[in-house]
Copies of this chain bind each other. A is one copy, B any other.
């Protein structure tokens, strides 16, 4: 499933401090080593000096050329911009890496291994390109996911980029610490880079997006885990990405949902659309799942990074009071309390079935 360990140069020029979700996820949760980060705006510092929570002392340098002196094996494209295109001024840096025979690892929608200039350079220098988001051929959704044995838990949220992947990785860690095997199912490019497998569901042809989700849940089930924790995507009232969210809700056939909320979000991403309240979110997510296979929200994972500790605690209390469910910030306060609260609630459910009188 996973090759020998990589040692990454992480490309995120001008973006590392604020906007490089992919880079941050791989540095924090990946098993690969970080040789250096490339971002002229932060050059001279370490990762820890810019973002302490990433807990890495890798150096930040100004160019791929400089990064080469830290012996990377691979160049990680460290962002996932809207629409997934490579920023044009990054091309030269990617070419420098290819000419140094680095493996290129990219989660962009744009397939770098279809770019004639990159392909030519890679052939000439013997470099390889891994387009993480390239989906395999998958069947349509079959319903086989309904027969999976362990409870399947899906992360859903009040918007995209609120921490659904992080919450599931933290809960998987808490399960492990509790002596249980929870299998994390990656559904997006950063999750795939971290876990070394998975399918970027947003890159699958719409008709097959539920089928692709089902296939990775079946793959996780073959490893005989106690729990299956599926990374979430988007949000159910996200004007652009909600269909990807629904693909996970029906394709993964979850038994339970963990609701991930950034309480500071008032609008959905770049849109005017208001985010939904806890109760509205629970009604929408449970309501939709309830038309196919019931699933309950078992807990709330809050992302309180933007809040003071006092306000964070108050917000967690408010979530508990409004929903009568366990709630916590698993990054700020650790995942164990929330995991211990929700694990006993994780049960196996059966899909709805029409009673049909034979004609």
Contact = CB atoms under 8 A, between A and B. Distances in A.
Interface string A282-302: 001001100110000000000
Contacts of A351: 272-273
Contact of A239 (B109, B203, B210, B242): B210
Interface stretch (A45-53, A148-156, A243-251): A243-251
Contact of A352 (B83, B210, B272, B287): B272
B292 A273 contact: yes
Nearest to A209: B206
A239 B287 contact: no
A82 B354 CA distance: 22
Contacts of A244: 206-207, 243
A240 B284 contact: no
Contacts of A243: 206, 209-210, 243-244, 246-247, 250
A276 interface: yes
A206 B202 contact: yes
A73 to B, nearest CB: 30
Contact of A246 (B140, B246, B276, B355): B246
Interface size class of A (residues with CB under 8 A): 35 or more
A126 interface: no
A311 interface: no
A325 interface: no
Contacts of A205: 109, 202-206
Interface string A256-290: 00000000001100011111100010001001100
A253 to B, nearest CB: 8
A240 B211 contact: yes
Nearest to A84: B207
A237 interface: yes
A141 to B, nearest CB: 4
B140 A83 contact: yes
Given A143-B239, A237-B288, A239-B250, 20 more contacts: A201-B206, A202-B206, A203-B207, A205-B205, A205-B206, A207-B240, A209-B243, A210-B240, A210-B242, A236-B291, A237-B291, A237-B292, A266-B356, A267-B354, A274-B352, A274-B354, A274-B355, A276-B291, A284-B287, A284-B288
